[in-house]
Chain A
């Protein structure tokens, strides 16, 4: 029987690491086209259950795979992500597709002319885009629910939330549909789905990765970043996406600072501590169990009080509501009935908040940043829960936080908001508790993604954190 280059039954790209896929493609163990065919077959099989994708770019993916296989045949050196399938939250511009940002309204927009810079950079390294992913409407969401496209579902229990707003980005990676995904994180939208779906997520420092050619939400806090099933894959994707782009006014012109080569340096003399007070007050027992496991593995020294964290969360809430309302004001006037009511009513309320209150929140932000940065004179990383609980049920409206019944949609991000509020880099790591995983944040000083990734890698190497494979 002749070897069929499209499939290699000995190699399963649907749960392989990015570096394993790239190595297999480079050595000819499998073709890039073979990876893509298996990926597309996996999407056809499980996406009916997960609803992670809103568009599958089959032709584009096959064409890209063929080019990689041709390049290999001609003796060219392949990129570090050769043949690795990835997908992006549908607020990233993908040439030829309207950028939905989870909305009904944007469906009538003309197709994007050019890919987002981050897609271009991943593809330049050999990764292959296979589609666009479901998300909460206009990213104003922590649940992964969407009334227009249906809810993205948690692969560990499809009756549970994926988390949001990058819900499809979590579902697709945890469900083995893609190796990597890109999400956005304004208040926690990478870290929340990473926590609920049992994945590794990186929210880089504000200004590190360019956001142009993506649909915004709250310019003051918007970040883009990768989600993966291992620290190594996060670092690999992050390294190739770094670099200045003048198209994003907030993107900082800094040299690329690769992290991959130093991942296995171990913890060494790094000083790790745990966030106390606000960051543990309302946590469910499982969130504290996960935090304690990670803290014990790292021999974290004591606790630190992040000053005024509750107020920081309040300020983030105010700025989010008002900047979001400003972005959508015209659409609220002309297309109000085409919004998800849950988004619309929050945005209309945001439009009515007096400017004096918003300015105060921005002034407080400056104060808070200065205070929190002082903590990093004494520590290298701070640990905190990523979410207060494991994945709630889809459709669940409220949960009990600190004895009070609170809306799930607005409060799954209570521990992520005070961190993205001042742009600190964070790696969310998954602790594989039973029956559902939950994440812990590794928070570092600005521009020290390398430290957060090193710590995540060490935890993974010791088996404390890992992405559990769901039975789906």
Chain B
């Protein structure tokens, strides 16, 4: 009985070790922010990253909402808007 318990413990410990040893894979937005900050020479400090990510996620979500709207190829922009 005692031997059995020992074996179970050993097996349980192994996968946990592997999991903590493996490098955490950054998600796509983290990687994008890191690359964009470098390319645009923006000083995105580590402590700022969660807020930048949260804001970018919301903005991109809004952009996707707009992007999902079908417009004809001939649609014109309104950069200088005239009411």
Chain B 67-79 against A: per-residue CB contact (8 Å), 1 yes, 0 no? 1010100011111
C-alpha spacing A207/B81, complex, angstroms:
9
Q: Which of A294-315 contact B (CB under 8 A)?
A: 308, 310-311, 313-315
C-alpha spacing A351/B42, complex, angstroms:
9
Residues of chain B having any CB pair with chain A under 8 Å:
32-33, 36-37, 40-45, 48, 51-56, 58-63, 65-67, 69, 71, 75-83
Chain A 172-211 against B: per-residue CB contact (8 Å), 1 yes, 0 no? 0000000000000000000000000000000001110000
C-alpha spacing A260/B69, complex, angstroms:
42
CB pair A317 B69 closer than 8 Å? no
CB pair B79 A220 closer than 8 Å? yes
CB pair A366 B44 closer than 8 Å? no
C-alpha spacing A318/B51, complex, angstroms:
17
A293 in the interface (beta carbon within 8 A): no
Chain A 233-248 against B: per-residue CB contact (8 Å), 1 yes, 0 no? 0000000000000000
Given the complex, which residues of A lie within 8 Å of B40, measured CB to CB?
329, 351-352
CB pair A363 B77 closer than 8 Å? yes
Contact of B66 among A206, A220, A361, A422 (CB under 8 A): A361
C-alpha spacing A341/B43, complex, angstroms:
13
> For the side of the interface on A, what is the size category?
35 or more
Interface of B is mostly: helix
CB pair A345 B51 closer than 8 Å? yes
C-alpha spacing A148/B15, complex, angstroms:
51
Which A residue sits closest to B55, measured CB to CB? A349
Which A residue sits closest to B67, measured CB to CB? A360
CB pair B65 A310 closer than 8 Å? yes
Q: Which of A423-463 contact B (CB under 8 A)?
A: 423-424, 446-447
Q: When A and B form their complex, what is the total count of cross-chain residue pairs whose Cβ atoms lie within 8 Å? A: 125
C-alpha spacing A321/B36, complex, angstroms:
16
A362 in the interface (beta carbon within 8 A): yes
C-alpha spacing A349/B63, complex, angstroms:
13
A96 in the interface (beta carbon within 8 A): no
CB contact under 8 A between A424 and B83, given known A314-B65, A359-B77, A360-B63: yes
CB contact under 8 A between A345 and B59, given known A207-B82, A351-B40, A351-B42: no
C-alpha spacing A82/B81, complex, angstroms:
36
C-alpha spacing A332/B51, complex, angstroms:
15
CB contact under 8 A between A365 and B62, given known A348-B52, A349-B56: no
CB pair B63 A357 closer than 8 Å? yes
Interface contacts beyond A333-B42, A360-B63: sample of 18 additional A-B pairs, CB < 8 Å, sorted by A: A206-B81, A249-B80, A311-B69, A318-B59, A345-B48, A348-B42, A349-B59, A351-B40, A352-B37, A353-B59, A357-B67, A360-B66, A363-B75, A365-B78, A366-B75, A366-B76, A367-B71, A447-B83
Query: Nearest 3 pairs between A and B by C-beta?
Result: A446-B83, A349-B55, A314-B62
Q: How far is the CB of A325 from chain B (nearest CB, A)?
A: 9
C-alpha spacing A31/B52, complex, angstroms:
54
Contact of A318 among B42, B63, B79 (CB under 8 A): B63
CB pair A207 B62 closer than 8 Å? no
Q: Which of A245-264 contact B (CB under 8 A)?
A: 249-250, 252
Q: How far is the CB of A96 from chain B (nearest CB, A)?
A: 33
